[in-house]
Amino acid sequence: MGKEEFKTFVRENPSLLKHVQNGNKSWQDFYEMYDMYGSNNEIWQEYLNAPKINNTNNMDIMSFIKNVDLDSIQNGVSSLQRVLSLIGDMSSKQENTEYKPRPIYKHFED
């Protein structure tokens, strides 16, 4: 049993992901079980009887991404870049100008 077969097994059984996310098992543990027992052993019943992951979330994300207006995002990013550039210019000018007080009663350069 190789890694590619294990990857296929995991794709066909997405409920294994929940066990890894919960910290119950690691991918290494699952791979060792797969390597020792194969994919058709009773040992998998405990992990595969969990409800399958719902793909509606993936579909919602995909429909959201399809509806995103990339031109408006680009315009927003460009505006943000101009604002940041302006702020950077203003802060660099303020750093260079130092206040030098003039003497109050000095009329000529003595």
pLDDT in tens, 17-28: 888 888 888 888
- Provide CB contacts within 8 A for 19, sequence distance 6+: 25, 30, 47, 50
* pTM, two decimal places: 0.43
- Kindly list the domain boundaries of the chain, sorted by start residue: 3-48, 65-93
Tokens standing for residue 38: 């194969």
**Residue found under tokens 């690691």:** 26
Tokens standing for residue 87: 């702020």
pLDDT digits (tens, 9 = 90+) for 48-64: 875 544 555 666 777 77
